[in-house]
Chain A
Amino acid sequence: MDLAKKNKKVSYAKWGYIFLAPFFAAFAIFTLIPLISTFYYSFFEMYKDGMKQIGPNFIGFANFKKTFAVSAGSGLPDILRYFKNTLIMWIMGFVPQITLALLFASWFSSVRLRLKAQGFFKTVIYLPNLIMAAAFSMLFFALFSTRGPVNNLLVDAGILSEPYRFLEGVWSTRWLIALMNFLLWYGNTTMLLLAGILGIDASLYESAQIDGASSMKMFTKITLPILRPVMVYVLITSLIGGLQMFDVPQILTNGQGTPNRENMTVIMYLNRQLYSKNYGMGSAISVIVFIVTGILSFFVFKSVMAEGGRLKGGKK
């Protein structure tokens, strides 16, 4: 047995490297090199002025300074303003999302309730997650436009006396974006939390039930504490996903972040620079996003690792 293992090591190790090669080659070419050049060019002036290519000229931290410059009429530097917008819309979508997901996941897994038609509900709840965010946003734009179906319905029902201009208000637009993000992702979060709850040892609930614990008590004393690592994971991955918020606000506001750039997200800002081929500024924004995501990812990694260790320990 030992000999066979030794033989295998000697003769087949190279196949490990050969099979890994495509992954690492693709990663090096399409992610690593771009990542390095993104960092490199963030220190350069490099853009297109009409047909003329300007740069690359080394300008140190000028791109970053420009990103943090305060534009007229607003108290905050542009990039911080866009981070703020992104964060606000993320929170508005995430809070109802995690609340509902937790509720649904505990219902789906409840031995006491034994809900029927779970397959149907799970299918419907998860459905929006597969919908093209761009098309979903375009659909909402049509539905909530001034002469759209939602306004028609509200006026017909007598709730509104005249159509409401959803897309002209800062907060109504934000609520629409948050609502879409919520609908797109709550099913996914429900499934993640459900998997976490189903992983909890059923005997814990059984003994609690025999001891006469109420379902509320079981939820707060068993489910929530054990689910904490999963919730931390969901929270941070959702935050990372939220920082990448792009498709929905981009289509809804036609890339303008209307009204008055109050709904411009960080990635929309990045997209704007790249679309006009301003690679210097684009790179600087990318670097800032990289640093922020890097810090957040570190926490994801830690929480995943901690969870893995705990589960392994628990099994023994």
Chain B
Amino acid sequence: MTNERSAYKKLKEPTAYRIGLFISRFAAYFALGLMAVISLFAFYILIVNATRAHADIQKGFSFLPGTRLIANFKTMLEDKAVTPIMTGLINSLFVSGCTALICCYFSTLTAFAIYAYDFRFKKAANTFIMVIMVIPTQVSVSGFVQLVFSMKLNDSFIPLIIPAIASPVVFFFMRQYMESNLPLEIAEASRIDGAHEFYTFNRIVIPIMKPALAVQAIITFVGSWNNYFVPALILESNSKKTVPIVIAALRSADFVKFNMGQLYMTIATSILPIVIVYLLLSKYIVGGVAMGSVKG
């Protein structure tokens, strides 16, 4: 049908229309290209400067990378007092990994409860979760920090991970996905075969949910990886710092005396892992955005 239509259009297309189309296309490509350059420019300079020596960076601007990549990396690793970036990376990896895992598992479990079972408060529970979806963490953070300190969980990763069990946004995404991809008959069939409800969930529902789980795991992981506000209030000792806190500490360091190559290297190290993962999986992430995002 589309072919037919475009054939019809081509016949009727006057030259003016074609010129107009050419101009709009050109404008579109130009604007998109320009924004792509602007979006990438900062990262390009970041990578270039991460490979240059402190003295060269101070001397002036360069579009070409230098030769000090490995040297800067070594300086960063050795300067544990200012940039404990390796500890930060390991801590962030642990916290974000656990958060993504726990968040995805329990959100799917919650979504399955609402989707697959009939019980009296089902509708009320669903509405309730939708309502709390819009409450930002900042409004309860004062009580949260107090609670964490009174439970002696300060300087611990637990208060950063466990609250992810209740993630309304991920729940919402999972429920949406179930509605179009999880036939209830499958759960019923496994029930008839005598499977326990937990077995059904872990062995039958979870595998079907894999595509949705992958998308949400990445998005949750990135969210936790980038989280600065709450960890900065809870984590205290150097050995517990996550990457954003290490970066924030850089800002408070004496900037004038600082080795700029090392600085750019540290920033690059903190964001490049995410960029690489993103570029490998961007197809799934960009597609999953529209469904899951609340903050803007």
Contacts and interface: CB of A to CB of B under 8 A. Distances in A.
B257 interface: no
Contacts of A19: 109-110, 112-113, 117, 197, 201
B286 A293 contact: no
Nearest to A17: B119
A183 B39 CA distance: 7
Nearest to A123: B282
A133 B251 contact: no
A282 interface: yes
B226 A134 contact: yes
B28 A38 contact: no
B147 A37 contact: yes
B29 A185 contact: no
B134 A300 contact: yes
Interface residues of A, number: 106
Interface string A136-161: 10111111010101001100100000
Interface residues of B, number: 99
Interface string B246-265: 01101110010000100110
A251 B117 contact: no
B32 A237 contact: no
Contact of B39 (A41, A112, A124): A124
A279 B146 contact: yes
Contacts of B36: 120-121, 124-125
Contacts of B250: 138
Interface of B: 5, 21, 24-25, 28-29, 31-32, 35-36, 38-40, 42, 45-46, 49, 57-58, 60-61, 106-107, 109-110, 112-114, 116-120, 122, 125, 129-132, 134-136, 138-147, 159, 162-166, 171, 188, 191, 197, 201, 222, 225-226, 228-229, 232-233, 243-244, 247-248, 250-252, 255, 260, 263-264, 267, 270-271, 274-275, 278-279, 282-283, 285-286, 289-291, 293-296
Given A136-B271, A237-B295, 9 more contacts: A19-B109, A23-B165, A30-B162, A31-B132, A215-B24, A237-B294, A246-B229, A274-B145, A289-B136
